[in-house]
């Protein structure tokens, strides 16, 4: 067998062959670094799971997740995978539900290595630590809580770090007591959705060592009606500290921001809070924590943990809170801005132009607002009249469709039209009388006072401006009452059940009549046309009881089941004869009820007799407006 040298071309010789081999080796060394990336696998992305407490749509979770994802987008493309999970033990309480969520997470992430877990809130952190052996074992945890958590197991705490706020409970309470030194009692609203007094315990820990002599009254986990009653009865030397309260009863679900507004309207003492989102919703303010800043810092720590950093080498980070206030509440409680801490943020402050020219601007703005409200009221009345005319025309068309075989129906149509027109005229006269006899005269006096402003001396000016402001506030109050009579705003903001509760409560307080209201299984999302129909029927029925029955008690019941909602109104009063269905106020009211029920495709039954009381029953399908939409004109939502 020939040797390798036998295959070397003769013209190269041994020296040329050596040079050729050296060149090939150098070329291989130069090319191999460039070719290596073609065969290398793409790096596995770092995986981060965030466990939030409460629902996905909760305002704090929305702000936290938004800031977190903005920080993650700054990482190299494809280097991070983010997953969000939600611990909703407020909606699904109990140990069994916790086990179900734990098993779900274990199975979901069984085939994926998770590099970091983010716990948003103490409940989420406690959930992760309770099942550490099965749920994300040995995975670093980065948390965000308001206060510093306490760990019973030091070894377990080595795998945990996070971000907390500074001493917001103590700082806010000290601030409120400094601004109101006469305070003797502090009402603390620190409810927990789970009912376990968790928030109340955290608050007590946060104010440990307080030396100021005040009495604390905890209103945690009370039903909403009892909570509002306690707030309304607060002593004048009290203040309120709001941390949390929500209500999840069927048909009356209220989030903390909703409850805060109700408390502010019921309270006659100052109200303080910790969350920045509460400022502007009735709270004077307090030391607030920045959710977005906390989320950004948590994300930065999580990325460090995913890259190999150890939690025990990363101490817990404390973010400074900011004293934040609502300028309007400062004015309401007479708190000058020079008494606020240094670095305070004052929101909703009027522009300096208003401060400089407020004597004239106040009058002009108020007059413009009142005129706008009056115009809106007139436009609403016009729209209401058009809807009534449309309803009358629809009713007329239905009666005409019966045909000539029943000519008696023509007389009924004419009678109905006359009653509807009469009712419209009565309503127009009432509104015109209120506008002319009350509002227009007050506006005229207000205009005269404003014209007299330049003629006043400096010593008289402040007193005169206050007089104008009081008169304008009175006009605004009258407009508010008139607007509420035209359309109940509670119906859209708080729902059918809460609106009827308020109506029954108002009628009970204004008249010598006890109204008992019961409701069961009424959904929150009752179609607005049906909700308005039922509300107006209750309103008309109770007004008839007050005006005509002579009864001292009435019952209202609202029940929903199997897609049907039933309304029942009863009183043990005088009743009335069916012959009163003419042009009397009772007859017109009954016709209005029947027409409203017809519009929503429902049924109404009225049982009454002289001396035997009155019972009204209404039944409407919740999907009635969609059953025959092609055959009939769609219902129009009340403005």
Domain limits, the chain: 4-39, 46-162, 168-353, 355-486, 490-627
Q: What pLDDT sits at residue 144? A: 94
The reply to whether CATH 3.40.50.2300 applies to domain 490-627 is: no
Spatial CB neighbours of 210, under 8 Å, sequence gap ≥ 6: 170, 173, 174
Q: What pLDDT sits at residue 386? A: 85
Distance between start and end Cα atoms, the chain: 104
Q: What pLDDT sits at residue 383? A: 83
Q: What pLDDT sits at residue 434? A: 65
Query: Would you say the CATH fold of 168-353 matches that of 46-162?
Result: yes
Q: Is residue 174 packed enough to be buried (19+ CB in 10 Å), middle (13-18) or exposed (0-12)?
A: middle
Query: Helix 585-599 to helix 358-400 angle, to the nearest 10 degrees?
Result: 80
Record: fold of 46-162: Rossmann fold (3.40.50)
The DSSP result for 292-327, as a single string, is HHHHHHHHHHHHHHHTT--GGGSPPEEEPPEEEEEH
In the CATH hierarchy, which top-level class contains the domain 168-353? alpha beta
Q: Is residue 110 packed enough to be buried (19+ CB in 10 Å), middle (13-18) or exposed (0-12)?
A: exposed
Q: What pLDDT sits at residue 48? A: 96
Q: What pLDDT sits at residue 51? A: 95
* CA angle, 32 then 37 then 41, to 5°: 135
Spatial CB neighbours of 396, under 8 Å, sequence gap ≥ 6: 413, 417
pLDDT means per 10 residues, the chain with 639 residues, are: 37 48 50 47 85 88 94 92 90 85 93 94 90 88 90 80 91 94 94 80 86 90 91 94 81 82 93 89 90 94 93 91 94 94 90 63 79 85 84 78 63 60 61 65 74 74 78 71 64 87 91 93 91 91 90 94 94 75 62 87 90 92 69 38
């Amino acid at each position: 067998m020939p040797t390798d040298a036998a295959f070397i071309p003769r013209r190269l010789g041994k020296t040329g062959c050596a040079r050729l081999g050296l060149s090939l080796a150098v070329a291989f060394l130069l090319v191999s670094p460039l070719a290596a990336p073609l065969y290398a696998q793409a790096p596995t992305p770092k995986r981060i799971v965030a466990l939030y407490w409460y629902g996905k749509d909760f305002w704090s979770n929305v702000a936290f997740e938004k800031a977190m994802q903005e920080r993650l987008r700054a990482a190299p493309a494809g280097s991070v995978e983010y997953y969000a999970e939600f611990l909703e033990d407020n909606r699904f309480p109990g140990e069994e539900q916790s086990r179900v969520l734990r098993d779900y997470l274990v199975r979901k992430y069984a085939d994926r290595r998770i590099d970091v877990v983010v716990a948003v809130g103490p409940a989420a952190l406690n959930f992760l630590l309770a099942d550490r052996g099965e749920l994300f074992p040995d995975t670093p945890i980065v948390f965000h809580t308001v206060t510093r958590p306490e760990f019973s197991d030091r070894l377990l705490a080595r795998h945990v770090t996070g971000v907390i706020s500074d001493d917001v409970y103590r700082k806010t309470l000290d601030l409120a007591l400094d601004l109101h030194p006469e305070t003797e009692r502090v009402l603390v609203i620190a409810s927990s959705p789970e009912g376990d007094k968790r928030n109340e315990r955290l608050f007590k820990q946060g104010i440990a060592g307080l030396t100021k002599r005040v009495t604390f009254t905890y209103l945690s986990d009370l039903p909403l009606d009892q909570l509002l009653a306690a707030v309304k009865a607060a002593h004048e030397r009290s203040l309120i500290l709001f941390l949390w309260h929500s209500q999840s009863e069927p048909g009356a679900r209220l989030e903390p921001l909703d409850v805060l507004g109700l408390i502010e309207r019921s309270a006659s003492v100052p109200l303080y809070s910790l969350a920045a989102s509460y400022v502007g919703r009735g709270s004077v303010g307090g030391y607030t924590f920045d959710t977005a800043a906390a989320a950004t810092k948590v994300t930065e720590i999580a990325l460090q943990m995913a890259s190999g950093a150890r939690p025990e080498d990363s101490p817990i980070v404390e973010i400074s809170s900011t004293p934040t206030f609502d300028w309007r509440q400062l004015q309401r409680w007479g708190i000058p801005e020079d008494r606020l801490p240094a670095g305070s943020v004052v929101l909703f402050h009027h522009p300096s132009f208003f401060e400089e020219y407020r004597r004239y601007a106040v009058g002009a703005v108020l007059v413009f607002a009142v005129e706008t409200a009056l115009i809106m009221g007139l436009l609403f009345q016009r729209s209401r009249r058009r809807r009534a005319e449309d309803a009358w025309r629809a009713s007329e068309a239905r009666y005409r469709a019966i045909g000539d075989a029943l000519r008696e129906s023509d007389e009924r149509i004419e009678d109905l039209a006359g009653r509807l027109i009469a009712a419209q005229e009565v309503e127009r006269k009432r509104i015109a009388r209120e506008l002319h006899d009350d509002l227009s005269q007050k506006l005229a006096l207000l205009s005269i006072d404003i014209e007299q402003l330049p003629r006043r001396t400096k010593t008289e000016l402040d007193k005169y401006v206050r007089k104008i402001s009081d008169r304008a506030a009175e006009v605004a109050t009258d407009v508010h009452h008139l607007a509420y009579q035209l359309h109940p705003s509670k119906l859209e903001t708080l729902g059918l059940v809460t609106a009827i509760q308020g109506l029954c409560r108002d009628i009970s307080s204004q008249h010598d009549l006890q109204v008992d209201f019961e409701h069961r299984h009424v959904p929150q999302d009752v179609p607005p046309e049906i909700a308005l129909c039922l509300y107006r029927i209750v309103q008309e029925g109770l007004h008839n009881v007050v005006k005509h029955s002579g009864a001292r008690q009435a019952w209202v019941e609202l029940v929903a089941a199997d897609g049907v909602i039933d309304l029942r109104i009863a009183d043990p009063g005088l009743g009335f004869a069916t012959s009163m269905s003419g042009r009397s106020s009772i007859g017109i009211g009954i016709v209005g009820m029947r027409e409203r029920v017809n519009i929503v495709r429902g049924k109404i039954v009225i049982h009454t007799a002289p001396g035997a009381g009155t019972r009204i029953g209404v039944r409407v399908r919740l999907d009635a407006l969609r059953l025959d939409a092609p055959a009939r004109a769609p219902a129009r939502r009340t403005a």
